[in-house]
Amino acid sequence: MKTRLSMLLVSVMVMLVLAACQSADDTASDASASGDEGAQGGEGDKIEITYWYAWGDKIGENNENLVKMFNESQDRIHVTAEYQGSYDDLHAKTQAAFAAGNAPEVTQNEIASVAIFANSGMTEDLTPFIERDDIDMDDFIPGLMGNSYVNERLYALPYLRSTPILYLNATLLEEAGLDPSGPKTWEEFEEYARALTVEGERVGMTLPVNIWFYEAYVAQSGGQMIADDEQSVAFNSEAGVAPVEFWKRMNDEGIIKIPTGDEAGDTAKQDFANGRAAMTFSSTADLSYWLAMADEQGFELNTTFMPANETYGVPTGGCNLVMTAGLDEEKQEAAWEFIKWMTATEQTVYASEYTGYLPSRSSAVESDVMQSLYQEFPQYEVAVEQLEYARPRPMLDQYPEISKILQDEITRSLINEDSSPEDALNTAAEKANQLLQ
């Protein structure tokens, strides 16, 4: 059901649609098209559809490369790929374009936003296409499917998916006399951070306040973010307080560094790259970047699970592919053929090898290409193995706003001596529950 928040966002974004669509032209795929056996056009005609995606660099190259490969694989459909910035940018522009009647036929939804788009009527139910074409849904890895269904209907297929993992400067760990395979528990993590800290030179980890990481820590403590009935939050429990108390204690001791502000994530990356932090949490999607960076900086890079408290646990992340609603039959078929092709085994293997994102199909994991990659670079396999402990992200319409409230309150608690983690989370819960009710 649409919330007032969703409706307000759509109406505001309508006013920005012209600028949004103009910026979408900044990066478009120039590949020429070919069609597909599932979409019917007039003789000699190509069905033109547009695909919007988030993020540049290796991730953007992957999207552009795959679109070019699709266009060259058949002669009936031409897809134009257009870069839209971050996930937030992409979502805002898609909502605005949909309201204005010129949305892309295929786009990405960051997984926590799948339900917002589906419940607002902006994306198409893919269940009939899946059933008609007898897609083997059992081949999709179960740990990655939690954010694909809305009201028991399939609205999205896994595409570029990730989990947070622990990245280690194994060279610094060995110099400190630590096992380079890394810590396995919170207690060991604290010991590692203390041993790796050199006053004025290095900390164990630079850790930005990131709700994705917080979700992982809550899961590791046996808790959850939202109550089962979805009428209230659950993060102000003992399991939700424990991570903030853990971070605050290490930050106060000076064995981790918690940057704040919009550049906090960049600061964490720079500190790890330059050896000012010996460990970092980051997406598996960053693996190809970190392998190249470690080689350039002259250190050995290891990866491992995020450490366990009561158990291991991580949220999944990344994006799914969706079809926008209201397309005519010809465009629908073209959009579906593109989505089906992009999420097939061969393309899943390509994207995972190129970027470091998780392969979303078991057949991709078991392929010769991925098995050879894991043998050569075992760092890639860590996230796949960690999927055993993966959870979907909350998909409530209000969750983006709840996340912002929670991030602000956690940050306030960490930098303000007079604010306890318990008080901060209770304040966040009170504000969040007002949104839910």
The helix (run of H) or strand (run of E) holding residue 280 is strand 277-283
Q: What CA–CA distance (Å, rounded) separates 119 from 130? A: 20
* The two three-digit tokens of residue 135, written as one number: 């897609």
Report the pLDDT value the prediction gives residue 422, as an integer from 0 to 100: 96
Q: What count of residues does the chain have?
A: 437
**Which residues does 343 contact at the CB level (< 8 Å), separation at least 6?**
157, 158, 159, 321, 360, 361
Output the CA–CA distances (angstroms, integers) from residue 392 to 127, 212, 224, in the order listed.
20, 11, 11
**Which residues does 382 contact at the CB level (< 8 Å), separation at least 6?**
165, 284, 303, 304, 305
pLDDT string in tens for the chain (437-residue length): 433 334 334 443 433 333 444 444 444 444 433 334 444 444 458 999 999 999 998 899 999 999 999 999 999 999 999 999 999 999 999 999 999 999 999 999 999 999 999 999 999 999 999 999 999 999 999 999 999 999 999 999 999 999 999 999 999 999 999 999 999 999 999 999 999 999 999 999 999 999 999 999 999 999 999 999 999 999 999 999 999 999 999 999 999 999 998 899 999 999 999 999 999 999 998 898 899 999 999 999 999 999 999 999 999 999 999 999 999 999 999 999 999 999 999 999 999 999 889 999 999 999 999 999 999 999 999 999 999 999 999 999 899 999 999 999 999 999 888 889 999 999 999 999 999 98
pTM reported for the whole predicted model: 0.84
b/e burial code for range 294-311 (CB count within 10 A of at least 16 → b)? beeeebebbbbbbbbbee
**Which residues does 42 contact at the CB level (< 8 Å), separation at least 6?**
none
Domains 4-162+317-384 and 164-315+398-436 share a fold: yes
Query: In terms of CATH architecture, what is 164-315+398-436?
Result: 3-Layer(aba) Sandwich (3.40)
* The two three-digit tokens of residue 5, written as one number: 């928040």
**For the chain, what is the total number of helices (H) and then of strands (E)?**
19, 14
Pairing of strands 277-283, 390-391: unpaired
* The two three-digit tokens of residue 368, written as one number: 């010769």
Report the pLDDT value the prediction gives residue 44, as an integer from 0 to 100: 57
Spell out the domain ranges in the chain.
4-162+317-384, 164-315+398-436
The helix (run of H) or strand (run of E) holding residue 8 is helix 4-14
Q: What CA–CA distance (Å, rounded) separates 157 from 135? A: 11
Output the CA–CA distances (angstroms, integers) from residue 155 to 116, 360, 408, in the order listed.
11, 16, 31
Which one, of 345, 284, 281, lies nearest residue 307 by Cα?
A: 281
Q: What CA–CA distance (Å, rounded) separates 147 from 111? A: 6
What CATH number does domain 4-162+317-384 carry, 3.40.190.10, 3.30.70.141, 3.40.640.10, 2.60.40.10? Answer: 3.40.190.10
